[in-house]
Amino acid sequence: MAHYDVFNGDADGICALHQLRLAQPCADAELITGIKREIALLKRVQAVAGDIVTVLDISLDSNRADLERLLHAGAQVLYFDHHYAGDTLFAHPNFNGRIDTSSLVCTSLLVDVWLHGAHRLWAVTAAFGDNLHASARRAAEGLGLSETELTALQTLGECLNYNGYGEQLADLWFHPAELYRAVQPYADPRAFMAEAPAYQKLHSGYLADLDAAEHQTALLENESVAAFQLPDAPWARRVSGILANRLAHAHPTRAHAVLTPVADARYTVSVRAPLSHPAGADALCRQFPNGGGRSAAAGINGLPESDVPQFLQAFAAQFRRQ
């Protein structure tokens, strides 16, 4: 009987798996992950009857055909996620799913409920990483954390999330499976931050990239929206998603888009709805090929340069103040 641990290569995916495996160790599981935007991960799983596939933080809608293939083959699937899952509820005797697309939860918070709060510090970290600051603070109530510790967990969540951004694995400081292996020995994220060389490397890379991003000028900017275009460089591809989150917090009533050049005159687009009204980002992005995500945070893969004006127009219209 083989185990497959399939997880998004961002903070939420890593922290969800880490919580589960602290509670239910499974040393021989095959790790299947990738850059944050690589979400069609189930196609890489070849499970047979009796195998157990654990799936964390990737859209069921984007993996539906392969999920059906694995269930049909007789695999047991445990699935936690908060991304768009399609219009119909998914049901199968071998499928155990905890899917909640509320903008207040992330996958690690769903796992935290499942584990009755056993490793909540990592769920708090992940919620910060997924830009769900209020949910992170709510989850942390009763843990007795100081404001300094909360801020540290926020930085850790942002760093783990930031590591997943990039066009290819070579853009990243760490392969997400390697980063998961680095956190694996630490039941307490505060010890990971204090002791792990991997964290020192990730944190200093994060600060250097943010510094480089600071002086970008807007393509479009008014009271309700702002869009920024980054240069064609690995640091820009790494920092793009974090930049969108930081802009969102600096201007909570404004929607933000960050366009990052990738190959073939195309852009990766990160969209954040206004924090004051976190809705519409997924509806905007699904108007374009390879667009999707959550109501508060969504994106488009490979937007052609020729479609940028159309995107900016749709973006401004989506978030125009009524």
Interface residues with Mn ion (CB under 5 A) are: 12, 57, 106-107, 130
Nearer to Mn ion, 80 or 228 (CB): 80
Query: Residues 108, 16: contact at Cβ < 8 Å?
Result: yes
Nearer to Mn ion, 12 or 66 (CB): 12
Q: Which is nearer to Mn ion, 5 or 57 (CB)?
A: 57
Task: Yes or no: say if 126 and 164 are a contact pair by the CB < 8 Å rule.
Answer: no
Which CB atom, from 101 or from 290, has the smaller least distance to Mn ion?
101
Q: Which is nearer to Mn ion, 55 or 308 (CB)?
A: 55
| Residue 106 Cβ vs Mn ion, minimum distance, rounded to whole Å | 4
By beta carbon distance, the residue nearest Mn ion is 12
The nearer residue to Mn ion, 107 or 154, going by C-beta atoms, is: 107
Distance in angstroms (rounded) separating the CA atoms of residues 3 and 70:
13
Nearest to 162 by CA among 244, 42, 56, 267: 244
Q: Which is nearer to Mn ion, 129 or 291 (CB)?
A: 129
Shortest distance (Å) from residue 12 CB to Mn ion: 3
Least distance (Å) between residue 130 CB and Mn ion? 5
Type and span of the H or E element at 312: helix 308-318
DSSP 8-state code for residue 89: -
Name the one residue in this structure whose structure tokens are 């969209």.
Answer: 271
CA atoms of 64 and 43, how far apart (whole Å):
10
The answer to whether residues 310 and 220 touch, using CB atoms and an 8 Å cutoff, is: no
When computed from its CA atoms, the radius of gyration of the chain, rounded to whole angstroms, is 19
**Least distance between Mn ion and beta carbon 103 (Å):** 11
At its nearest, how many Å lie between Mn ion and the CB of residue 80? 10
Rounded to a whole number of angstroms, the minimum distance from the CB of residue 57 to Mn ion is 5
Q: Are 281 and 291 in contact (CB under 8 A)?
A: no
Classify residue 32 by its DSSP letter. E
Place of tokens 């002791």: 195
The tokens describing 231, both together, are 């240069």
Tokens 């040393």 map to which residue?
Answer: 27
**E strands within 128-272?**
218-221, 225-229, 255-262, 266-272
Least distance (Å) between residue 13 CB and Mn ion: 7
